[in-house]
């Protein structure tokens, strides 16, 4: 947003969040706030808890047997761990590392499925939302003449944009992206990075990335994770130019990780 | 020069060995398909002469009269398979869904293990089981009892094949469904099953092919019937049992018909297998 100094609303607030897989303490005592229309990039070496962290925000973490969470995650003020996970997930979209359109469903159905299975059956409404979501995901022009073809028939980059459209169709205020471009070629990656700049008009984004250039290009806020801890959190320009912590500097300059 | 000679002798030996092994492998492949081809040719020779339109449309003729057919057995087989599928398919799929989607740890191990055991139970034992728990209390052989025995045989087959297919659906597909705020049971029904329906259907049809030739479990459950029967509580004829009855009879006419029955049964199973492969294995 151009006038970023204007008072923004906090959309996501995380307090003393811890997550475990069995005995393994994967995420340790995280506190952070995300404001509306921010793009928060989570960076850090493999296994540092970034993915686990975002999976606590839509309560997917607990779907793994033996997984456990303590602490608070507030989405628009509501404590999500006191709510029905199904309802939470309708408000938190997610895009995965590998493009994963639902096999056996057409392009149209892939985008409509979230609405359809939560009870919206009116064809006219579905058509309208599918078109809108595909446009937001910058895929409409490429697929508008073949909406009935299988979603899996698209190229990798198109599939990932289809997955973004699928997540946007249920109009979540926040979108989680778990290394959304790590399985894509450079051109598809660039398209998705461009897309993020448009998307932040409608939705707040939390993106996990291994690619530091990507983090510095696309995000407004950056959080650096190491061994499950949040080492540094701040404006992207500050984290990348004058980090407060030595570990952060070592990581972003490529001394480890 | 010298080295070249050494190499070529070595090469020659290697090539001979290679051809010898390829020959052996081809031979074993032939040995494997030889029984299939010979059975088919033999049954074709024996069964084709007395195969006629009457065979498919007429009831058996009384002893001493020529003609007649196995119409009631063909229809009976369809009846038995249809109701058996109603029992075996949902049960098998439900068990596979539990194993892959809900259960974990020891429960899954136990379920899978009992499925394997169930698959290893001789089909005649399944017949005996149904005999003592259904036929005896109901005081009579019946279509229902026969289908129950066949259905029990289907459960582990359908369960195992469905499980194998559900296991190939990557977990991030399930997570993508859940992440859209879709309840787990809807993710399973509308996304996981929908995406793998073709493959699951293949498993179901192959299990139908498997039970359509079962004889032993029907001998004391559905028994046999020389007439049309359309009642779940009455004995019903089936191709395998009719073949068995005719094959051990002293009458040449009947024995010839048993061969025709065998041919029809084999063709049915062939057609099912080939159709399934054509329909679902193209991609």
User: Cα(A154)–Cα(A101) distance, rounded to whole angstroms?
Assistant: 9
For residue B6, what pLDDT is reported?
65
pLDDT band at B282 (very low <50, low <70, confident <90, very high): low
Phi/psi at A75 (5° precision): -110, 120
Tokens of A61: 């973490």
For residue B103, what pLDDT is reported?
84
What mean pLDDT is reported for chain B?
91
CA distances from A207 to A41, A74, B179 (A): 5, 18, 15
The answer to whether the Cβ–Cβ distance between B172 and A97 falls below 8 Å is yes
- ipTM confidence score: 0.90
- A122-166 pLDDT, tens digit each: 999 999 999 999 999 999 999 999 999 999 999 999 999 999 999
Strand A174-178 versus strand A204-208 pairing type: parallel
**Are the C-beta atoms of residues B70 and B57 closer than 8 Å to each other?**
no
Whether the pLDDT of residue A118 is over 60: the answer is yes
A-B Cβ pairs (cutoff 8 Å, strict): 74
pLDDT band at B1 (very low <50, low <70, confident <90, very high): low
What mean pLDDT is reported for chain A?
92
Nearest to A134 by CA among A145, A121, A118, A123: A145
Nearest CB neighbour to A104, from listed B177, B180, B197: B197
For residue A251, how far is the Cα from the chain centroid?
Answer: 22
* A104 CB within 8 Å of a chain B CB: yes
The answer to whether the Cβ–Cβ distance between A93 and B104 falls below 8 Å is no
* B170 CB within 8 Å of a chain A CB: yes
* A76 CB within 8 Å of a chain B CB: no
- Percent of chain A residues topping a pLDDT of 90: 85
pLDDT band at B8 (very low <50, low <70, confident <90, very high): confident
β-bridge mates for residue A234, sequence order: A222
- B134-163 pLDDT, tens digit each: 999 999 999 999 999 999 999 999 999 999
Phi/psi at B138 (5° precision): -85, -5
In 10 A of CB A85, how many CB atoms?
A: 18
The answer to whether the Cβ–Cβ distance between A89 and B179 falls below 8 Å is yes
CATH code for the domain defined by A10-252: 3.40.50.300
Nearest CB neighbour to A170, from listed B169, B181, B194: B181
pLDDT band at B283 (very low <50, low <70, confident <90, very high): very low
* A58 CB within 8 Å of a chain B CB: yes
Residues of B in contact with A163 (CB under 8 A): 176
- B80-94 pLDDT, tens digit each: 999 999 999 999 999
User: Cα(B160)–Cα(A156) distance, rounded to whole angstroms?
Assistant: 32
Whether the pLDDT of residue A244 is over 60: the answer is yes
- A41-75 pLDDT, tens digit each: 999 998 899 999 999 999 999 988 889 999 999 99
The answer to whether the Cβ–Cβ distance between B191 and A113 falls below 8 Å is yes
Nearest CB neighbour to A90, from listed B170, B181, B196: B181
User: Cα(B112)–Cα(B115) distance, rounded to whole angstroms?
Assistant: 5
What superfamily would CATH give domain B56-280?
MetI-like (1.10.3720.10)
Residue B74's contacts (CB-CB under 8 Å, 6 or more residues apart) are B56, B239, B264
For residue B11, what pLDDT is reported?
87
A-chain residue closest to B193, CA distance? A104
CA distances from A219 to A136, A182, A196, A212, A213 (A): 19, 16, 9, 10, 10
Strand A24-35 versus strand A174-178 pairing type: unpaired
Whether the pLDDT of residue A257 is over 80: the answer is no
The answer to whether the Cβ–Cβ distance between A58 and B179 falls below 8 Å is yes
Task: Classify burial at B139, counting beta carbons within 10 Å of its beta carbon; exposed 0-12, middle 13-18, buried 19 or more.
Answer: exposed
What is the least distance, in Å, from the CA of A246 to any CA of chain B? 36
In 10 A of CB A189, how many CB atoms?
A: 18
Residues of B in contact with A60 (CB under 8 A): 175, 178-179
Question: Residue A68 in 3-state DSSP?
Answer: strand
User: Cα(B150)–Cα(B241) distance, rounded to whole angstroms?
Assistant: 13
In 10 A of CB B141, how many CB atoms?
A: 23
For residue B104, how far is the Cα from the chain centroid?
Answer: 29
Q: Which of B102, B168, B175, B176 to mutate to test the interface with A (most CBs of A within 10 A)?
A: B176
Whether the pLDDT of residue A1 is over 50: the answer is no
For residue A111, what pLDDT is reported?
96
- B52-79 pLDDT, tens digit each: 999 999 999 887 777 888 999 999 999 9
User: Cα(A161)–Cα(A140) distance, rounded to whole angstroms?
Assistant: 10
* C-alpha distance across the termini of chain A, in Å: 31
Task: Classify burial at A21, counting beta carbons within 10 Å of its beta carbon; exposed 0-12, middle 13-18, buried 19 or more.
Answer: middle
The answer to whether the Cβ–Cβ distance between B172 and A98 falls below 8 Å is yes
Q: Which of B168, B181, B183 to mutate to test the interface with A (most CBs of A within 10 A)?
A: B181
Q: HEC states along A125-178?
A: HHHHHHHHHHHHCCCHHHHCCCCCCEHHHCCHHHHHHHHHHHHHHCCCCEEEEE
DSSP state of B236: -
pLDDT band at B133 (very low <50, low <70, confident <90, very high): very high
For residue A2, what pLDDT is reported?
46
Tokens 């469903």 map to which residue? A105
**Are the C-beta atoms of residues A161 and A192 closer than 8 Å to each other?**
yes
């Amino acid at each position: 947003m151009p006038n970023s100094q204007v008072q923004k609303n906090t959309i996501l607030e995380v307090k003393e969040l811890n997550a475990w897989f069995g005995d393994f303490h994967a995420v340790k005592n995280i506190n952070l706030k995300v404001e509306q229309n921010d793009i928060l990039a989570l960076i850090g070496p493999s296994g540092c808890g970034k993915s686990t962290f975002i999976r606590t925000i839509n309560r997917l973490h607990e779907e793994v047997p033996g997984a456990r969470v303590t602490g608070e995650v507030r989405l628009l003020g509501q404590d999500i761990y006191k709510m029905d996970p199904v309802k939470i997930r309708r408000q938190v979209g997610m895009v995965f590392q590998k493009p994963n359109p639902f096999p056996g469903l057409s392009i149209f159905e892939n985008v409509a499925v979230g609405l359809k299975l939560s009870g919206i059956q009116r064809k006219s409404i579905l058509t309208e939302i599918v078109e809108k979501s595909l446009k937001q995901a910058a895929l409409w022009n490429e697929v508008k003449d073949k909406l009935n073809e299988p979603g899996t028939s698209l190229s990798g980059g198109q599939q990932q944009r289809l997955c973004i459209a699928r997540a946007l169709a249920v109009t979540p205020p926040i979108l989680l992206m778990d290394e959304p471009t790590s399985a894509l070629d450079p051109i598809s990656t660039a398209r998705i990075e461009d897309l993020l700049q448009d998307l932040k008009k409608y939705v707040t984004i939390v993106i996990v990335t291994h690619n530091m250039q990507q983090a510095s290009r696309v995000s407004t806020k950056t959080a650096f994770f190491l061994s499950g801890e949040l080492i540094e959190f701040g404006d992207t320009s500050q984290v990348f130019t004058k980090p407060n912590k030595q570990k952060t500097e070592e990581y972003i300059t490529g001394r480890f990780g | 020069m010298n080295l070249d000679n050494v190499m070529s002798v070595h090469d020659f030996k290697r090539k001979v060995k290679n051809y010898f092994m390829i020959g052996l492998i081809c031979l074993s492949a032939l040995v494997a398909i030889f029984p299939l081809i010979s059975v088919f040719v033999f049954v074709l020779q024996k069964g084709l002469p007395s195969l006629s339109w009457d065979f498919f449309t007429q009831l058996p003729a009384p002893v001493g009269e020529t003609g007649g057919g196995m119409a009631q057995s063909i229809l009976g087989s369809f009846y038995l398979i249809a109701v058996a599928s109603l029992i075996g398919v949902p049960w098998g799929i439900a068990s596979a869904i539990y194993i892959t989607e809900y259960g974990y740890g020891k429960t899954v191990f136990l379920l899978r293990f009992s499925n394997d055991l169930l698959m290893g139970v001789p089909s005649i034992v399944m017949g005996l089981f149904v005999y003592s728990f259904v036929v005896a209390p109901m005081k009579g052989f019946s279509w229902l009892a026969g289908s129950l025995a066949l259905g029990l045989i289907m459960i582990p087959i359908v369960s195992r094949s469905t499980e194998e297919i559900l296991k190939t659906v990557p977990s991030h597909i399930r997570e993508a469904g859940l992440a859209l705020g879709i309840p787990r049971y809807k993710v399973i029904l509308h996304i996981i099953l929908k995406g793998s329906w073709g493959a699951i259907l293949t498993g179901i049809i192959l299990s139908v092919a498997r039970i359509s030739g079962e004889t032993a479990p029907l001998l004391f459950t559905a028994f046999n019937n020389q007439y049309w029967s359309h009642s779940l509580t009455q004995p019903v004829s089936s191709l395998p049992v009719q073949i068995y009855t005719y094959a051990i009879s002293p009458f040449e006419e009947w024995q010839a018909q048993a061969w025709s029955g065998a041919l029809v049964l084999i063709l049915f199973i062939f057609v099912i297998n080939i159709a399934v492969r054509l329909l679902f294995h193209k991609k």
